[in-house]
Amino acid sequence: MTSRLALFDCDGTLIDGQASICEAMEAAFAAHGLAAPDRGRIRRAVGLSLPVAVRGLIPEAGPDVQGAVVASYKQAFRTARMEGRLAQPLVPGIREVLDALTHAGWVLGVATGMSSRGLRHCLAENGLTDLFSTLQTADGHPSKPHPSMAETALFETACDARDSVMIGDTVFDIEMAVNAGMTGLGVDWGYHASDDLLAAGARIVAREPKDLMEYLLS
């Protein structure tokens, strides 16, 4: 039987890091004397690779300023982690979904705009390190919705796109799934609205983690 891949976005899908992301972005802008975007705009940019997100938040700034904000964001995030202020808790009920899919024979993976280092820390802190067979991050790929992350995950796990799903909370996740020939499944506990996910091509939008189990294991 062909293996089936369930590829998950991380922040906004597996974990809730909204507060930490907004605080780090605000600190990064303040470090350069810039007015931070409102938190709604910051949340809308989550899911993109960090340089792409920053360019979208301050398109009027030059590459040097944008690059400096990216560096300051990374530093703010590292500082928050070292000081024990970084909050990236699991979405309630998501661990049960991962365990059920594993038991049913699904191959699990992550495709995220986070860095490899950041993802490893996040998974380790939440006891998820051993669950995933493939980890795709912003370090080695173009930003979502480019299909590179999904295509590499499919290649590494020898799974067929037609039998696999990408699960995420942003239109970037769903568009990446479509671009890779996968089924996109949305979740509405993250950063983008359900209507936007459906318009981007999501097959369904789960209201709770258990909805994913009902869809994938039925």
3-state helix, strand, coil in the chain (%, to 5): 50, 15, 35
Q: Rounded distance, CA 86 to CA 126, Å? A: 13
CA dihedral 46, 78, 147, 197 (to 10 degrees): -20
Examine the residue annotation and report whether 11 is marked as an active-site residue of this protein. yes
Q: Rounded distance, CA 122 to CA 36, Å? A: 25
Q: Rounded distance, CA 114 to CA 186, Å? A: 19
Q: Rounded distance, CA 151 to CA 98, Å? A: 21
Do the beta carbons of residue 138 and residue 114 sit within 8 Å? yes
Examine the residue annotation and report whether 196 is marked as an active-site residue of this protein. no
DSSP string, 89-156: PBPTTHHHHHHHHHHTT-EEEEE-SS-HHHHHHHHHHTT-GGG-SEEE-GGGSPPTTSTHHHHHHHHH
The neighbouring-strand residues paired with 79 are none
- The CA-based angle 153-156-161, given to 5 degrees, is 50
* Residues designated catalytic: 9, 11
